[in-house]
Amino acid sequence: MSEAERKFLEVHGLKKSFGSGDTKQDVLKGLDFTVSKGEFCVLLGPSGSGKSTLLNILGGIDSADEGEILINGDKLEDMNEKSLTRYRRKHLGYVFQSYNLIPNLNVKENIETGAYLSDQPLDIDELLKILGLFEHRYKLPNQLSGGQQQRVSIGRAIVKNPDILLCDEPTGALDYTTSKEILQLIEEVNQKYGNTVIMVTHNEAIKRMADHVIKLRDGKIRHDDRITDKITAAELEW
């Protein structure tokens, strides 16, 4: 792995606070870390630890007060709103805890909303098969189970073959079996397409399938570990 690939994502001295005066609350208190290309990175921590805020800043939909973020050498804080949109369009895929699908577009069309953003998207039918949604492709979101809806949302994120896939508690609203299925899917995507995955979760068990675990508490990094003995998603238990 080259140096550039090893330092695919660099974060230096990242700080963020909300409110002002007496009500000022420091959410991120100076973070430094790097993520390598193709890495499966898990941001772990209890609620209020600042992990979702960190993910939003990395995704360019929120801004830091201090510090810098370099993605593939591009400085995020130098970008204006337009270039940030272009950056997200070109490089990022987003998966949220709530699936945020468009209710009156069917499965395939919801995925097409992602594909439309890329000049060279993945083949949608093939992706639908990988997602296990091919036979459901003409169904509307409300005809699907929660797990299936989250698959569609993942499909929408990865169809444009993003460099980075940002997942915010993707299994937060799902049961154990479905959660495992989703994690397997993300793992498969990561392995098959080589996207860098950054996943926010409060589920400690998930860290075992990651290449890289960053543990946050009170806005600070408590642990930043590379995992050498990771297991597959299928082997996870909690």
Partner 1 sequence: MENIQFGKRPKNPLRKRVRRDLLRDWKRYLMIFAMLVVIIGFVSGMYVANNSMMTSLDGNAAKFRREDGHFELSRIAEPEMIEANASGKKADMVKIFRARAYTEAEPEIQQAVQEAVEEQVREQVRAAITEQVTAAVDAQIEAAGQKMPEEMRQEMLDTSLQTAMDENYEKAVKDALKEAWDSAEYKDALAEATDKAHAEIDKEIDKEYTKLAERFELDQTFDAVPVNVYELFYKNADEHISGDAEFAGSIRVYNQRNEINLYDLLSGRAPENDREIIIDRMHADNAGVRIGDTVRADGAEFEVVGLASFTDYITLFESNTDTMFDALTFDVGMVTEEGFERISTSVHANYAFSYVHPPADLYEEKTSSDHFLKALITQTAVSEKEMEIKDYVPAYANHAITFAEEDLGSDLAMSGVILYVMIAVLAFIFAVNISSTLEKEASFIGTLRASGFTKGELLRYYMSAPLLIVTIASIVGNVLGYTVFKNIAVGMYYQSYSLPTYETLWTPEAFLRTTIVPFLLMLLINFVVILRMLRLSPLKFLRHDLKKTRRKKAVRLPRWSFFRRFRLRVFLQNIPNYLMLFVGISFVMLLLSLVVGLPSTLSYYQETMPGMMFAKEQVILTDYKDADDAVIRTETDGAEPFSMGALEYRTEKFSEEISVYGVAENSRYISLSPQNQPDDMWISTAFSNKYHLHTGDSFVLHEKYENKQYTWNVAGVYDYDAALSVFMSNERFNAVFERDADAFSGYLSDETITDIPEKQIVKRITSDDMMKIAKQLDHSFGSYIVYFQYVCVIIAAIILYLLTKIIIEKNERPISMIKILGYEDGEIARLYLLTTAVVVIVTELIAMALGFYAMKLMWEIMLQTLGGYFAFIMKPDGFVKEFALVTAAYLVITVFDFIRIRRIPKVLALKNTE
Interface residues with partner 1 (CB under 8 A) are: 56, 59, 61-62, 82, 85-90, 92-94, 96, 98-105, 109-110, 112-126, 141-142, 146, 153, 156-157, 160-161, 173, 192-194
What is the closest distance, in whole angstroms, from the C-beta atom of residue 174 to partner 1 in the complex? Answer: 11
Strand 66-71: give its sheet, edge to edge. Answer: 25-35, 9-18, 66-71, 74-75
Nearest CB to partner 1, comparing residues 42 and 157 = 157
Minimum CB separation of residue 142 from partner 1 in Å reads: 8
Q: How far is the CB of 73 from partner 1 (least distance, A)?
A: 20
Give the three-state DSSP class for 44: strand
Q: Which is nearer to partner 1, 186 or 236 (CB)?
A: 186
For partner 1, the closer of residues 34 and 118 by Cβ is 118
Q: How many residues does the chain have?
A: 238
Pick between residue 160 and residue 215 the one whose CB is nearest to partner 1. 160
134 CB-side CA count, 13 A: 9
Decide whether 141 or 219 has the Cβ nearer to partner 1. Answer: 141
Residue with tokens 């370099």: 70
Tell me which H or E stretch contains 66.
Answer: strand 66-71
For residue 160, the minimal CB distance to partner 1 (Å) is: 8
Q: How far is the CB of 158 from partner 1 (least distance, A)?
A: 11
On the CB side of 52, how many CA atoms lie within 13 Å of its CA? 12
Distance CA 190, CA 64 (A): 27
Q: How far is CA 1 from the centre of its chain?
A: 22
